[in-house]
Amino acid sequence: MGDTALEAVLRRDRAVVTAALAVIAVFAWAYVLWLAADMGSPVSGGEAGDMAGMDMASMNMGGMDMGAAVAPGFRPWASADFVFIFAMWVVMMVGMMTPSVAPMLLLYAGVGRKALADSRPIASTAWFFTGYLVIWVVFSIVATGAQWQLTRFGMLDPAMAAHSAVLGGVVLIAAGLYQWTPIKGVCLRQCQAPIAFLASHGGFRTTALGALRLGMDHGAYCLGCCWALMALLFVGGVMNVLWIAGIAILVLLEKVVPAGQLIPRISGALMVAVGLWLGLSAL
């Protein structure tokens, strides 16, 4: 490739990264929507929600009774069920978290282009993004285990939502209180300010392993910021597309809107209020 062509490609690095992130997010969301449709999950409530249990109970996917895997009272999970639910969580996390990490990846790509032009190349953005995703893969393992235990004890309904208002209320209250904690604030500040994160972690890395570890560090802060919000999936339904989209939008707003701690504190107060209402109404 000639120098002119190479320079043209490098100038388009942000567009390339943006397009790649968009493709990843679109494919992830398409998979979630397809899965939700196959499971008959409540997308907009009403009749779809009423039919969720029947659709999931009757669905068979590749010979595996998926209704039995995710709904209580059907049968114990087989190995294939664990693999399927784990894959579902991974894809869902990719779809939900890719938009919120985009500013960091675009900054990385822009600096990488300039560093290459100055003959001081840094490791590829892909290594950083891979490290970031590793953290959410680990979270998906934990979430799969949590779903298995909740299903095992009959605490989830066929739509993979809390079976009782009391449990849903407890999860909402816990998530809402976490929104006000100092650790939430620390993690959110690292996610809101990519430059500050890089400055406090030694800057960009020149090796693939270094970039991978830097991405994992950023992913760990992101997890510390968002894990309680992800737990809310068990309140509204793991395959409730509108609920998933709502949480993803809240995550994005927390990270990109220059409002400091205002958004998490307002949302946290609302979660506690709704959780109390749910719990008290069930008593």
- Per residue in 99-120, pLDDT (tens digit) is 889 889 888 888 887 787 777 7
Greatest alpha-carbon span in the chain: 73
The stretch 152-157 carries a mean pLDDT of 88
Nearest to 132 by CA among 113, 107, 105: 105
Q: Where residue 12 falls among pLDDT bands split at 50, 70, 90? A: low
Give residue-wise pLDDT tens across range 182-203.
999 999 999 999 989 998 998 8
Q: Where residue 34 falls among pLDDT bands split at 50, 70, 90? A: confident
Range 185-190 contact pairs with CB under 8 angstroms and sequence separation of 24 or more? 185/261, 185/264, 186/224, 187/221, 187/222, 187/223, 187/224, 187/225, 188/225, 188/254, 188/255, 188/261, 188/264, 190/218, 190/221, 190/225
Nearest to 237 by CA among 61, 22, 88, 24: 88
Average pLDDT of the residues of the chain = 82
**Distance in angstroms (rounded) separating the CA atoms of residues 255 and 189:** 8
Entry pTM: 0.80
Inform me whether the pLDDT recorded for 180 exceeds 80.
yes
138 or 52, greater pLDDT: 138
Tokens, residue 80: 């294939």
Tokens, residue 199: 């400055």
